[in-house]
C-alpha cells in the first residue's frame, strides 16, 4: 500500500488548510460583494504585484542551443480529468495567478502574441515553464475573437504549436500544451451550449487546470515526508524546485537531516540549491560531481527531479543523473524521483541517444583545441530499473505504474 497512494492525494493540502480556508471564507462573506468584485481594487493589486515584471520579452536567441539552458527557465508540463475532479477549487487566487501587468490583451490595438504572454509569465521565478504555457493558453481563450467552437479550437491549436516550437527540446513544455488541449477542448457538453456559454466553460476549465498544476509541487512535498526520517543523509543532484520544496517542507516540520549536493556542472546549479538550503539552516555538504561514488556510503537516499517522465517509467533529467542512479543501485540505496504529473511524456527512449538533444555551452576555463570534440548534451536518460519510487501529484508510484498513468492522461 505504501507504493501507490490513492488519487485523492490532491486533498492533502486542502485537508491541512481546512481551518484556514473556513476562516477566509467566513471573512469574505462579511465583505460586500461590490468590494470583492471592484475592478479598481483588482487592477491596483495586479499593478502592485507585477510592478517589477516589466523586463524585456524573452526570446530564444540561439535555436541551436536549448532555450531552457539559455534562460535558466524551469522545466515542467500534464493532467487527468479524474485528478482534477477530485481536487477542490482553490479559495481565492494566489498572487501568481494574476497575469503580469504588461501582458493584458487588447492594449490599444496591440496584437496578442501567445509567445509574448508565455514569456511574461515565465518572468515569475517560482512558476514552472509548463504552468506558464498553461496560463498563456488560457489567455488565448480569453482574448479570442472567434465566433464558433471550431474557430476557437483552431486558434488554440495554432497557439499550442507556436509554444512547442519555441523550444522543441523542452519535454514539459510540449507535454503541458498537449494535456491542456486534451483536457480543455474535449468535452461533449460543449456541443449542446451556445458559444458564449461554451467559451466561459473553457475559460473556467483552463483556469482550474492552471490552479491544480500550480499546487502539484506542494502535494508532492507532503507525500514525500513519510520517507524522510530524522538523522538521514540525502543526496541531491543539481537544482530542482520540486526537490527543494520537499526538503523545505521537511525542514519546516523540524526533521533533522543533512544534504549532500553535487556541484551540478557545467552550470553549477547545485551551488544554488546549497545556498537555498543554508537559508533553511539545513546542514549541507557540497560535492564535485565525480565524488558521488566516493560519498555514497554516507547516503541513505537519493532525491532527484526530472525534466520528463517517459512511458517506460524512466526519467530524462540533468546530465549525471544516470551515473548517480547506477552507483546508488549498486550500493542498495533508494533513488526517489520528485516530478509533477504534467512532466509525463509520450516518449520511449531506448538508449541515451534516442531523444532530441538539449544542448548547452560548456566552459572548461581554459582554451579547447578546435580539433577536440566536446559533449554538450544537457541531459541523460535513467532506465526504470534504477529508480525506486516516483513522488507525483497523482500519488507515490512505482516505475511500472507510469505507463498506466500515461494511458489515462492521454486517452
> Using CA atoms, how far apart are residues 116 and 130, in angstroms rounded to an integer?
15
Nearest CA among 308, 298, 307 for reference residue 406: 308
Strand partners, 377: 359
Write out pLDDT tens, residues 184-243. 766 655 555 677 777 777 787 778 777 877 788 899 999 999 999 999 999 999 898 899
User: Rounded to an integer, what distance in angstroms lies between the CA atom of residue 282 and that of residue 275?
Assistant: 10
Name the band, by pLDDT with cuts 50, 70 and 90, for residue 60: low
| 109 φ/ψ sector (left φ>0, alpha ψ -120 to 50, else beta) | left
Given a cut of 60, is residue 259 above it in pLDDT? yes
Among 24-33, 39-48, 70-79, which stretch is predicted with the lowest mean pLDDT? 70-79
Which range is most confident: 39-48, 103-112, 220-229? Answer: 220-229
Q: 276: which 3 cell numbers?
A: 537555498
> Are residues 337 and 305 in contact, defined by beta-carbon separation less than 8 angstroms?
yes
The region of weakest confidence among 116-130, 312-326, 370-384 is 116-130
CA distance 7 to 82: 8
pLDDT in tens, 352-411: 888 777 777 777 778 888 888 888 788 899 999 999 999 998 889 999 888 887 777 666
Residue 23 pLDDT: 52
From the list 249, 187, 239, 190, the residue with the least C-alpha distance to 217 is 249
Q: What percent of the chain has pLDDT over 70?
A: 70
173: pLDDT confidence band, cut at 50, 70 and 90? Answer: confident
Q: Is the peptide bond before 266 cis (omega within 30 degrees of 0)?
A: yes
Contact 160, 92 (CB under 8 A): no
User: What average pLDDT does the chain have?
Assistant: 75
Residue 181: its pLDDT value, please? 82
Query: For residue 8, how many other CB atoms are within 10 A of its CB?
Result: 13
Query: Where is average pLDDT lowest: 27-41, 58-72, 157-171, 274-288?
Result: 27-41
Domain 220-359+374-410 belongs in CATH node 3.40.50.10470: yes
Q: How confident is the model at residue 249 (pLDDT cuts 50, 70, 90)?
A: very high
pLDDT bracket for residue 51 (50, 70, 90): very low
Does 292 score more than 50 pLDDT?
Answer: yes
Bigger pLDDT: 220 vs 7: 220
Look up residue 53 and give its three cell numbers: 515584471
Confidence (pLDDT) at 20: 52
Cα 158 from Cα 138, distance rounded (Å)? 13
First to last CA, the chain: 26
Percentage of the chain surpassing pLDDT 90?
28
Which residues, in sequence order, are CB contacts of 218 under 8 Å at separation 6+? 13, 245, 249
- What is the predicted pLDDT for the residue at 411? 61
pLDDT for res 124: 79
Is a pLDDT exceeding 50 seen at residue 104? Answer: no
On the question of pLDDT at 65 being above 60, the answer is no
Residues found in the chain: 411
Provide the pLDDT for residue 187.
60
Q: Where are the domains of the chain?
A: 111-215, 220-359+374-410
Q: Does domain 111-215 have CATH number 1.20.120.420?
A: yes
Amino acid at each position: 500500500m505504501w507504493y501507490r497512494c490513492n488519487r485523492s492525494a490532491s486533498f492533502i493540502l486542502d485537508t491541512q488548510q481546512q481551518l484556514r480556508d473556513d476562516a477566509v471564507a467566513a471573512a469574505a462573506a462579511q465583505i460586500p460583494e461590490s468590494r470583492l468584485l471592484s475592478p479598481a481594487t483588482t487592477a491596483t493589486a495586479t499593478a502592485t504585484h507585477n510592478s517589477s515584471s516589466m523586463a524585456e520579452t524573452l526570446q530564444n536567441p540561439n535555436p541551436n542551443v536549448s532555450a531552457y539552458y539559455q534562460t535558466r527557465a524551469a522545466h515542467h508540463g500534464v493532467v487527468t480529468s479524474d485528478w482534477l475532479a477530485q481536487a477542490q477549487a482553490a479559495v481565492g487566487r494566489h498572487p501568481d495567478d494574476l497575469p503580469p501587468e504588461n501582458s493584458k490583451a487588447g492594449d490599444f490595438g496591440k496584437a496578442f502574441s501567445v509567445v509574448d504572454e508565455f514569456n511574461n509569465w515565465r518572468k515569475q521565478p517560482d512558476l514552472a515553464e509548463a504552468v506558464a504555457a498553461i496560463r498563456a493558453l488560457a489567455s488565448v481563450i480569453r482574448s479570442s475573437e472567434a465566433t464558433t467552437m471550431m474557430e476557437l479550437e483552431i486558434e488554440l491549436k495554432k497557439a499550442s504549436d507556436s509554444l512547442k516550437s519555441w523550444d522543441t527540446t523542452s519535454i514539459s513544455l510540449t507535454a503541458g500544451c498537449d494535456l491542456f488541449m486534451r483536457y480543455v477542448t474535449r468535452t461533449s457538453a460543449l456541443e449542446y451550449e451556445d458559444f458564449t456559454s461554451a467559451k466561459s466553460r473553457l475559460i473556467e476549465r483552463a483556469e482550474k487546470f492552471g490552479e491544480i498544476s500550480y499546487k502539484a509541487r506542494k502535494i508532492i512535498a507532503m507525500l514525500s515526508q513519510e520517507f524522510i526520517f530524522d538523522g538521514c543523509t540525502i543526496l541531491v543532484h543539481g537544482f530542482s524546485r520540486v526537490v527543494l520544496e520537499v526538503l523545505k517542507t521537511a525542514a519546516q516540520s523540524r526533521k533533522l537531516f543533512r544534504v549532500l549536493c553535487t556541484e551540478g556542472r557545467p552550470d553549477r546549479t547545485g551551488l544554488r540549491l546549497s545556498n537555498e538550503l543554508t537559508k533553511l539552516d539545513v546542514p549541507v555538504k557540497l560535492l564535485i560531481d565525480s565524488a558521488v561514488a566516493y560519498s555514497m556510503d554516507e547516503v541513505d537516499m537519493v532525491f532527484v527531479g526530472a525534466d520528463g517522465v517517459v512511458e517506460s517509467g524512466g526519467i530524462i533529467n540533468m546530465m549525471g543523473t544516470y551515473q548517480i542512479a547506477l552507483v546508488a543501485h549498486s550500493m542498495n540505496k533508494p533513488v526517489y524521483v520528485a516530478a509533477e504529473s504534467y512532466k509525463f511524456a509520450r516518449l520511449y527512449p531506448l538508449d541515451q541517444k534516442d531523444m532530441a538533444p538539449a544542448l548547452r555551452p560548456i566552459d572548461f576555463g581554459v582554451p579547447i583545441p578546435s580539433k577536440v570534440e566536446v559533449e554538450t548534451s544537457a541531459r541523460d536518460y535513467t532506465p526504470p530499473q534504477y529508480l525506486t519510487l516516483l513522488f507525483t501529484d497523482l500519488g507515490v508510484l512505482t516505475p511500472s505504474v507510469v505507463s498506466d498513468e500515461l494511458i489515462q492522461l492521454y486517452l
